[in-house]
Amino acid sequence: MSRLLIVHEKRIPISLRKLAVQEAKKRRFLVKVSFYKDSLSSIAKKLNWADVALFAPGRYLDENILKHASRCKLFQLWSSGFDKFNVMAAQKFGIPVSTNGGANADAVAEHTILLMLAVLKKIILNHKRTVNGKWKNNGHGMDLFSAKDKTLGLVGFGEIGSRVGKIAAAMGMKVIYTDPNPRQENLNRVPSAKGVKLDQLLRKADIISLHVHLNLYTKGMISKSRLSLLKKQSILINVSRAELVDTKKLFKMLNSGDLFGVGLDVFNEEPTKPGDPLLNHPNVVCSPHMAAVTFDSHKNVIKNCFDNLERARQGNKVLWKVA
């Protein structure tokens, strides 16, 4: 039987950990479990034992730890993002790293639309009005907007971005995107979508939604100067990584009224802390980095991860490699 090490974060609920362990046993893996907060020597010892490893989610481990994974045929990441994992060390030791293959793309796309509509309809503010019974002076919709006929600009047109575009197009939105190498299957999801340069997208879109991985090329891509290109009263949605955006400039634009609103699922500091002025702004809707996670998406992720671990165990070519 092949040996599998599952490395969890402590915050992962027991019920979710059990799903992974149950799947491992069903597929006849010998399983050991570790946590990122365990002693480095303990993690190293278990990696030395493992034939494959599942990181749930992918987090940084020093190369002095990863070098002990001499038996490992695959580092399988539970997550779709890989910027927090030590990919360079894995490459150094010749161990392939794979993501979940977009298994949670539908969940993220749905959540993106949720944030967009919540900002357009000021749902947080109006929920509070309803709960408090303060309906007077509520604007009667003069401060709210519909999605139909708005232009949605998608920065990144991969598995998630194209799914967002498909839903938006069905809602009657005009879809534009920027992506250096869009795959044909993603283009086929939204035949009406138009590809444009990033700066043109920022100038034309009523709503901008970010769907790119964080790396050396994308970090800070929505810079102070690029934020200045946005149409007045536009909306920014970020379910990717906070480091893509100049947050200080974003906050200034909210305060000046240049932006209508912002929807965020990712933050410079996670978990967030009480009192953050950006998160407390009345035109910001936020969620605790949960866009990708539903019961259904977890099942899809587990299937993809274990299908790939099976490939590695059998000596076959693994999928969704990032290194």
Catalogue the active-site residues.
241, 270, 289
Helix (H, G, I), strand (E, B) or coil at 25: helix
Cα distances (angstroms) measured from residue 155 to each of 19, 108, 128, 131, 216:
34, 14, 32, 36, 16
Quote the DSSP letter at residue 141: G
Task: List, as own/partner pairs, every contact residues 196-201 make where C-beta atoms lie below 8 angstroms and the sequence separation is at least 24, other chains included.
Answer: 198/155, 198/226, 199/226, 199/229, 201/153, 201/155, 201/176, 201/177
Q: b/e string for 144-154 if b means 16 or more Cβ within 10 A?
A: ebebeebbbbb
Convert 165-218 into a string of H (helix), E (strand) and C (coil): HHHHHHCCCEEEEECCCCCHHHHHHCCCCEECCHHHHHHHCCEEEECCCCCCCC
The span from the CA of 238 to the CA of 145, in Å, is 19
Helix (H, G, I), strand (E, B) or coil at 289: coil
- Residues sharing a CB contact under 8 Å with residue 151, sequence separation 6 or more, in sequence order: 173, 174, 175, 176, 204, 205, 206, 207
Cα distances (angstroms) measured from residue 40 to each of 3, 77, 81, 133, 303:
19, 19, 24, 54, 29
